[in-house]
Amino acid sequence: MNQPSTPRIGFDRTIRLAWLDATAEMVASGRSEAEVRASLNEMLKEAIAGEAARKKTLAVISGLWLRPKGYAVVLQKDAAAWYPRMPPRQRIAVHWGLAITASAFFFEFVHQLGRLVRLQEEFASAQIIRRVRERFGDRDVVERAGYHVLASLVEWGVVEESEQRGVYHTTSPLSIEDLAISSWLMEATIAAQQASRAPLHSIAQASALFPFVLPVAGEIRAYDSPRLEFSRQGVDEEVVALVR
């Protein structure tokens, strides 16, 4: 009997926000993949001495901005078009959307983190990793990748370590008022769930989007995104679906 395959990690390096910003800027300006990779490699040399470690870091960044797969291809095109005119503080939203779509591990980690911080103000890193292991297996690589994701979130400014070592809290959420970006984040969340449709209220308030405050569902519906379709299911449940 075939055993179910273990989900791929896909995000197993600590990624600085500055590296993602630099990549996005180069992609948005139309530079070739080879040029972007060469520039990134030089940038990474300042922080990562080993060639193998740099290659792994480049692979994570490439999965978001240079070689997206599946539904992330569509999302990356939008992100590259918007990036130059986005306020710097808002740009993390497109990195986030690409990350949750590109890496099931990243999505599961931030989903579990978001669920936990709705129940308590602080959390221990071990709590999140224990929850993620339920899906990705009790493997050393899962624990290491979990710490890399958490370190990335600290680098991105959405999580901070408290005075007690190993205990963290989230920072104030960022309000996303642009309806195009808000609906795009909802798209990314549905795609990250490997679904084609979901209840509107659960997507607009998804735990994986904990660093952001989106407009109310009615405003997003009124925006009329070309890739989201809204409908009613039953008496009082509204559903949002991807239009492929």
Q: For residue 173, what are its two tokens?
A: 């959420």
Rounded Cα distance between 127 and 209, Å, is 19
| Size (the chain), residues | 244
Q: What share of the chain is helix, strand, coil (3-state, %, to 5)?
A: 55, 10, 30
Is residue 231 helix, strand or coil? strand
To the nearest 10°, the Cα dihedral for 184, 190, 192, 195? -150
Give residue 223's pLDDT. 79
Residue numbers of the domain that contains 205: 1-244
Rounded Cα distance between 243 and 61, Å, is 27
Please report the sign of the dihedral spanned by the C-alpha atoms of residue 71, residue 100, residue 144, residue 44: positive
Confidence label for 201 from pLDDT (cuts 50, 70 and 90)? confident
Confidence label for 236 from pLDDT (cuts 50, 70 and 90)? confident
Average the pLDDT over 157-179 and give the result. 94
Rounded Cα distance between 190 and 241, Å, is 8
Give the mean pLDDT of the chain.
Answer: 91
How many structural domains is the chain composed of?
1
Tell me the C-alpha to C-alpha distance, in Å, between residue 151 and each of 13, 147, 148: 9, 6, 5
Confidence label for 10 from pLDDT (cuts 50, 70 and 90)? confident
Give residue 5's pLDDT. 53
Model pTM score = 0.93
Rounded Cα distance between 184 and 181, Å, is 5
